[in-house]
Structure 1
Amino acid sequence: MQDTQGARPVVLGISGSERPGGNTDLALDYAGRLVRRRGAVFRTIHLRDHRISPCSPCGDCNVRTTPCEVKDDMPAIVEEMKRADAIIYAVPVHGFGLAHLMQIFIERAGVGFLRFERPLANKVGGIIVTSRRYSDASVHSQLVDNLLLNRMILVGSGFPALLRNTAREPGLNDTEGLDALERMTHRMIDMTLLLHRHQAATGEPVLLPDDRNERVARAPSMS
């Protein structure tokens, strides 16, 4: 989906940090400034500002054929994701793993909404992980799996955008991490513009989103 005011790509940043103004927010804000300098639109969702319920004990997630019925802010957030051309997940490492806000979010989004039609297919995805020192690569890998599960396009941009800060105060002190973040962000915009140009010229997306649900059996292709 393009910005309604023009043909500018729309990038949505989703922060899974509980701490306003912390390392994750600083990194995502930095990415947002890069996006806007490229003439694209950048919007931010802070999960801490929304009511997101954990998965309930209803037990029907693996058999239901309709979106989750738990009443919270998830449907509105999913609609924002559908309207974006590209999505950046930004999250800190907590307890050697994914911060709980993002963990709850990806569980609810995936099982409760996205798996039925895979509406994020062919959107460009990016990941920012902030940490003190440990487990940032494993958290990044978990989010990579999530982007690939949703048929998103993950651009190669050198090293992953892992930003470390051992200081007491929040800050963007990791020069190598910032360089990786910059490369990722620019490659995301480049890919989004390429997808726009192709669709404008042909009327079709680069990759036809015909593989919607891995739960539906597919006959093996014959070559």
Structure 2
Amino acid sequence: MTAQPKIVAINGSERDGNTADVLRHAAAVAAKRNVDLEAVDLRNLRMERCGPCGDCNDRPLPCAVADDIPGVVAKMIAADGIIFAAPVHGFGTASLMQTFIERAGVGYLRFDRPLSNKVAGIISVARRYSAGEVWAQLTVNALLNRMILVGSGFPATVHALHRGDAAKDEEGLTNVTRLVDRMTDMIELLAEHRRLTGRDDIFRPAERNERVGLALNELQDQR
């Protein structure tokens, strides 16, 4: 019996508002496909900002800042798919999500790119403006981590201002539904491919860190 597929959704909103409502909708869609979708609300975590050490480019070990980020990274590594969902604040990505991208990416994910070949989906929530810009930033972050990006036709951007408005954006939620369904299809397809081929290789070891020529790479080669 195969394990139930798992999607972890990173919620970058400071509030239990429209972004959370969109992810509850996504979870309901996933449940119909027998997929467990767990939302990780960054607002409830102990998450420090990047510290003053400034040795990230030379440090061959994970970040030394002690907070809840390692636990979230472990959830992502164990999952089959990842959704990055964030609202637009000040015409850009909400600060919680930006902090998470910096802390998780620089502190943990860049060494061996453990999210490689996991299925990724992107959702942005906005009053109207800059939804595409935030969607694009989160998309580039998924590609940087060598994930398999799944779309929904139109980007899964949901328009909302006041609490409850997301539920009124029929087109936006339709795109979220398509996104989750297509992520599930891709997760199932990859699982079948791995079963038939017996292959689970991802990237060659030499590609584990793209910062060629930096001191970090030289230190890693000496390990």
1:37 is matched with which residue: 15, 20, 32? 32
Aligned to 2:188: 193
2:208 is matched with which residue: 209, 212, 220? 212
Contiguous gaps of at least 5 residues in structure 1:
219-223
Residue 168 of structure 2 aligns to a residue in which SS? coil
Residue pair 1:122, 1:209 contacting (<8 A) in 2 also: no
1:92 maps to amino acid = P
RMSD value, Cα = 1.6
User: How many residue pairs are counted as aligned between the two chains?
Assistant: 212
Give the deviation of 1:161 after TM superposition. 0.4
1:74-113, aligned counterparts within 5 Å?
A: 74-113=69-108
Aligned partners of 2:88 and 2:151: how far apart in 1?
A: 22
Cα distance change of structure 1 residues 212 and 53 upon mapping to structure 2, 3 Å threshold: same
Structure 1 length-normalised TM: 0.91
Structure 2 length-normalised TM: 0.91
Aligned to 2:3: 7
Q: Which of the pair is proportionally richer in helix?
A: 2
Give the deviation of 1:72 after TM superposition. 0.4
Contiguous gaps of at least 5 residues in structure 2:
218-223
Cα distance change of structure 1 residues 166 and 73 upon mapping to structure 2, 3 Å threshold: closer
Report percent identity of matched pairs: 52
Residue pair 1:12, 1:42 contacting (<8 A) in 2 also: yes
Residue pair 1:11, 1:41 contacting (<8 A) in 2 also: yes
Aligned partners of 1:172 and 1:213: how far apart in 2?
A: 41
Residue 172 of structure 1 aligns to a residue in which SS? helix
Residue 200 of structure 1 aligns to a residue in which SS? helix
Aligned partners of 1:208 and 1:27: how far apart in 2?
A: 31
Give the deviation of 1:169 after TM superposition. 4.3
2:126 is matched with which residue: 128, 131, 137? 131
